[in-house]
Structure formats: C-alpha cells, structure tokens
Amino acid sequence: MKLTQQQLETHLWGAANILRGKTAGQDYKNYILSLMFYKRLCDQWENEADEAIAELERQQGRGFTETQKAVFRARGEHRYSIPQGSRWGDVLAASTNLGETLTSAMRAVSNANEELRGVFTVDWAQPAPDGSGKPLIANEVVHALIQHFNTHDLSNASVAPDVLGHAYEYLIKQFADDAGAKAGEFFTPPEVVDTLVRILEPRPGDTIYDPTGGSGGMLVHSADFLREGGHHANSAQYFAQEMNWGNAAIGKINSVLHGLEANIAAGASTITDPAFKDGAGQLRKFSLVLANFPFSDEFWWLKPEQQTDDKKKKDKLKKETFGKEGFKDNYGRFGRGTPFKAPPAGYGDYAFILHILASLTNQGRAGIVCPQGVLFRGQAEVEEETGEFDDDGNPFIKRRKADDEHLIRKALLESRLIDAVISLPLNVFYGAGVPACLLILRRQRSPERHDKVLLVYAARHFRELSNQNELRPQDVMRILVHVQAYGDATKVPDLVARHSGRIREQINAREHDEVERLEAEYADATVRLARLDAEVAERRAELATLAAKTVREKAEAALVKLEGQRDKAAAKIAERDEKMNEARRRADDDRRDVDAVGRELGALYGDADELLKHARVVDIAEIKENDFNLNIPRYVDTFEPEPRTEVSDALRDLANAELSLRTAETEMLALLRKAGHPGIQTC
C-alpha cells in the first residue's frame, strides 16, 4: 500500500520532532533532510534490485535461491551506487557509535556517485562543544531516528516520486516556519516563486540559473511549469550557485527528488567567485535567471572566508579591494568597459542585479526579488550652494556628483532593460521586514514595450498570518493579469478566464491537502478515541451487572478515569475538526475571491482612473523627468482614502459620545460624594 503525501509528511515531521532542540540552532533541518534522502536512496536501491531479480526469474521461468539473489543484487544496475557496508540494513544493524556509522555510510554513498557530491554535509558524530568527548547528538537519539525512519519504505514501491518531492518541499516549508527570520537564507515563499516563474514562462531549451540557489525552489518550480505545459522537466537545463554548503545540499536533494539534472555549485560567493564560466573564462550566459539574493548585503565584495567579525580586517580589505574605480571585477559586470558603475560598498543589491544582467544571453530574461530601495536610492547630479559668497555677494556653487546607485538605475532604464516592477506586501519574506519588489529584466523587448515600464502596486492584497503575510492564489492572479496584459484591456478577459480556472483547481487541491494532512496528523487520536469509546461502553455494561457495593465503587472509579481519557481524545478530535473547518472556510473565501477579483479586473480595465490605483504603463520620458526614480507611488496612486462618512452619521456619533461623557461625569460625581470628598457638596 502506497503512502499518501499527507501520511509521508506527518511521518517526516515526526522525525524532526525527535531531533528538535538537540543540535545547534536550526541545523537540525540539515540532519533530517539528509537522513530522509539517504533512506530513500537505500530503499530505492533495494527496490531496483528486487525488480531486476523478479524480471530475471520471469524470463528464466524459475525462482532463484537466496544465494543467487545476493549475487544478482550486487551485480544489478542501479540509478545510484550504494556501496556494500553502507546500506540501510548495515546502519540498522549497528548498536553503538551510530553517529559515526551513519556519517561513514552517507559519505561512502556520496563518494560513489559524482552527482551526489556535497549532498551529505552533516556530521552525525560531531562532538558536543563542552569538551566532554560525547557526541552532540546522543546515540539514543540517533537510534530513535533510525527506528522512526525504518517504519516506512521510501522506495517507488511505496512512495511515488512526485509525492516524495512534494513532501520534501512541505518539510522545507515547515523548517522555514520554525526557523523564522533565518529562513530567508534558504527559502523563498512558493507563491513569490510561482509568480516569477509564470511571468517569465520557462520554455524547452532554456538554460535556467539561480545565482543564490538556497533550497532550489526556483529550479523546481520552473520544472513544474514545464511539466504543466506537457514538457519533460529536463527539456531545460538547470544551474545554481549557493554559498552555504548546507543550503546547497538541501537544494541538490530537492532537485534529485524532483528528477532534475541540475548543476549546483556550492561554497563560494557568486559575486567574488562565480562558478559558471565559458571557455574563455568569462561568465556563462543563461536564457532565464531567477533569484532572491541577500538584501542589502553590506560586505558583498568579500569572499565568505573574509566575512569575519573583525571590523579592522574588513576595513583593510575594503581599501585593498576598492580603488578609485570601485570594485575590481574580472568578469565585465561593472566598472570600466560597461555602462554600469561599480555598486557602492554599503549595499550589495546592484552587485547581484548586474551579475544577473551580465549572465543573460542576448535574448535572456530575468526575475529578481529586490528590496524596494533599488528603485529610488541615490540622487542625481545636482548643483548646491556652498554657503560662501564671492565679492559681489553671489553664492558659490558646487556640483554634487550623482550617486552610484542612481547611475546604475539610470543606465538600466536608458538601456531599456527594465520591463516591469511589482511591489509586494510587507512581511511576505522570512526575516525581511523591508518593502520588497519583483524586478523583471528582458534583454530584448517588443517594439510596443521598448520605451515603457510597467509598474504594478500589489501591496494591498494578502492574507495576514500570525508571523508574516502570505500572497493568496487570487493575489498572484492579480499580478499575472496586470503583467501579461501590460496595459492592454483587450487581453484581460482571456487572462482572467485562464488564470481563474487554474487557481480554482489550486485552491481545491490546497483544501484537500490540508484536510488530508490533518486527518493524517490526528490519525492516532482518531484510533484512540474509537478504542476508548468502545471500552467506556463495555465498562458501563459491566457496571450494570455489579451488585456488590465495594466492587461497584471500584468499577465506577475506573470508569470515571477512562471517561477522562476518552474526553481528552475527543478534545483532540474537536481540535482537528475546527482546523478542518477553518481550512474549508478559508478555501470557500478564496474561491469567492477568485470570482470577485475577476470581476474587479474587468471593471478596472474599463476605468482608467481606477486602474491608476493598481497598475500603470509609464513612458521612459516621464521616468527621466523624475530623475530616473522608480518609486511606484510617483506613478501609481497608492493613496488609501478614509472611508466615506455621512454627515448625519457623524452627528449621531457625536451626540452619543457627548451623552456617554455626561453619564460618566454624573457617575463619577456620585462616587465622589459617597466617598465624602471635601470638594463635592452633598445635596
């Protein structure tokens, strides 16, 4: 019997609960994800061997002995090699030094498969920091994890590959929720990734690149989009670079589980040491780039090993690295020979943007998550009074040079590379409280869009969660219709019809998944309640037959205790049912909203004044008049008017307030008189 996605998710998160709090910080995610993947590789190896042996037995019309099976098992062809002595059964058979055993087995698998190099980065035998010589993760905890994972087979025989891939993504999302602010290092909310992917529409033959790969979500969503269009996931090629080894390992596992042949480089900065180069040693070009880089990285120009807490060292390196011309770049991304200035040392945003631009083919396109500061930071060149005067009393004027970020933005706009900008709601990203936007770049743009930029204000619409905000499917639909219509009202009806149908299916699937997930999560409580209900009924029936007082009192006491246990189990089921009802209510609201948003978009594109509050196609000439400032409120009416109040309503509210005030004064005076306050006379 195959595991459902929800059963698998519950099983995997149960493993996380075993390890939580027993490693340093949020590192436990790397342990759980790597252990899950190792178990999957081992189980699939065994499954492939079993299938191959069964096929040989069928072809030869006879069964093999266990000795013969062992020979065929060792010789069989497998997708990945699992060396003898490093299989799951070997780990399961060990009883002591389990951390060393597991680490050794994982490293052996990694060394035996070129594609899996760098996947297993954790050390299960890492010593505790107190110098005691004991392992950080106790032998008992590793044993509990191994036993937990051993309860389910993770091969294709029990878990479909797409189910395992989705469960892995769910697990990453759960770890991101648990990590809070630190999650931004490895996780971009899937709604944001989906928006970027659907704007840029990956195609067969694309080379897709993420320069700050994290957990690989950009690549996986691109592959899902291709599959949705009826194409094979590997009809495109996938590349990523990730500075953090642990995050890169998560991304590699993610790509393998989703069937992607992805090239993911790790351990070096994309800016200082880009991994993908052509035969001439220059940056490799890609047709599609998707990225969510670290916002406003203060030391983007330093290699990872140089980014210490020693400020003096940073200052020294800064002087060595930055000259009059700025950062010395060997790859033609900024500085001499390009129209772009080197980004300032204080903000790394444009360093990543210019790296992405330099990594695009002549027909390439890019979708980048950016802080909104890139839209307006930096001043144009201005003339300023110095505060001094010449002999005739005329003020001295000095010319203030334009800031570097202004010059870069100006060059991007004058080169007609910015196709669209979409502002996002606050607090959509983990740990990033600054306003964010999506920047869409295209090397080649159609003639009708060549001298224009689409600006979309999408910050109004979101779902407010306890710790952050979330783009709902209907909010993504709004953005996609604005971007794909690009101001053309005739396109809107077809776009609304296309996206609303797909999004309804997405909402239905999400509702089903949430309900199934809750059923899996509370499955033990369901079984327990049924058992306790039966036991309570049985005890009550027995109680009716008891005559002796002493025996009856003991039976009644046991029944009360049993009923208390039953009530606790019933409370858990009530909790589950409330969560299910909430999931259904949310889905109903979203389905209604999809229809409402469709009608709203149709009305907006029939009313130019209303459309200006949401999206606008702006001429470059107007942007130039604004000193190449792209701050969206300069062009789109983001003002939120106060709700209209009728005068009669306002007068009624005022009269009620005055009445409440007089009543309160009367009550206060009465209390003061009763207390005999000397300033109050008693009538």
Tens digits of per-residue pLDDT, 346-363? 788 999 999 999 999 999
pLDDT recorded at residue 72: 73
Distance CA 356, CA 340 (A): 13
Question: How far from the centroid of its chain's Cα atoms is residue 522's Cα?
Answer: 26
Per-residue pLDDT averaged across 370-391, rounded? 81
Residue 578, classed as helix, strand or coil, is helix
Q: Tokens representing 663?
A: 């009543």
Distance CA 169, CA 428 (A): 18
**158-171 pLDDT, tens digit each:** 998 888 988 889 88
pLDDT recorded at residue 603: 94
- Core vs surface per residue 644-679: b (16+ CB within 10 A) or e: eeeeeeeeeeeeeeeeeeeeeeeeeeeeeeeeeeee
Burial of 234 (0-12, 13-18, 19+ CB in 10 A): middle
Tell me the whole-structure pTM to 2 decimals: 0.85
pLDDT recorded at residue 668: 83
**317-327 pLDDT, tens digit each:** 665 566 555 67
Q: Which of 139-148, 528-537, 627-636, 650-659 has the lowest mean pLDDT?
A: 650-659
Helices (runs of H) and strands (runs of E) counted in the chain:
20, 15
Q: Tokens representing 110?
A: 């990694």
3-state helix/strand/coil string of 233-273? HHHCEEEEEECCHHHHHHHHHHHHHCCCCEEEEECCCCCCC
pLDDT recorded at residue 103: 95
Q: Which of 37-51, 264-278, 395-409 has the lowest mean pLDDT?
A: 395-409
Q: What percentage of the chain reaches a pLDDT higher than 90?
A: 55
Per-residue pLDDT averaged across 182-208, rounded? 91
Residue 115, classed as helix, strand or coil, is helix
Burial of 631 (0-12, 13-18, 19+ CB in 10 A): middle
- Core vs surface per residue 79-113: b (16+ CB within 10 A) or e: ebebeeebbbebbbebeeebbbbbbbbbebbbeeb
**642-677 pLDDT, tens digit each:** 556 667 777 788 888 888 888 888 888 888 777 777
pLDDT at 19 over 80: yes
**410-426 pLDDT, tens digit each:** 999 999 999 999 999 99
Distance CA 332, CA 325 (A): 13
**98-148 pLDDT, tens digit each:** 999 999 999 999 999 999 998 998 899 988 887 787 888 999 999 999 999
pLDDT interval class at 290 (50, 70, 90): very high
Q: Tokens representing 610?
A: 């209303």
CB 295 within 8 A of CB 347: no
Strand partners, 369: 292, 438
Who has greater pLDDT, 646 or 433?
433
pLDDT interval class at 683 (50, 70, 90): very low
Distance CA 257, CA 163 (A): 10
Q: What percentage of the chain reaches a pLDDT higher than 70?
A: 92
Distance CA 179, CA 418 (A): 34
Strand partners, 288: 208, 365
Neighbours of 341 (CB within 10 A): 23
Per-residue pLDDT averaged across 34-50, rounded? 92
CB 141 within 8 A of CB 18: yes
Residue whose tokens read 């999809």: 594
Mean of per-residue pLDDT scores for the chain = 88
Who has greater pLDDT, 662 or 583?
583
Who has greater pLDDT, 645 or 387?
387
Residue 80, classed as helix, strand or coil, is coil
pLDDT at 588 over 90: yes
Per-residue pLDDT averaged across 587-600, rounded? 94
Residue 438 DSSP one-character state:
E
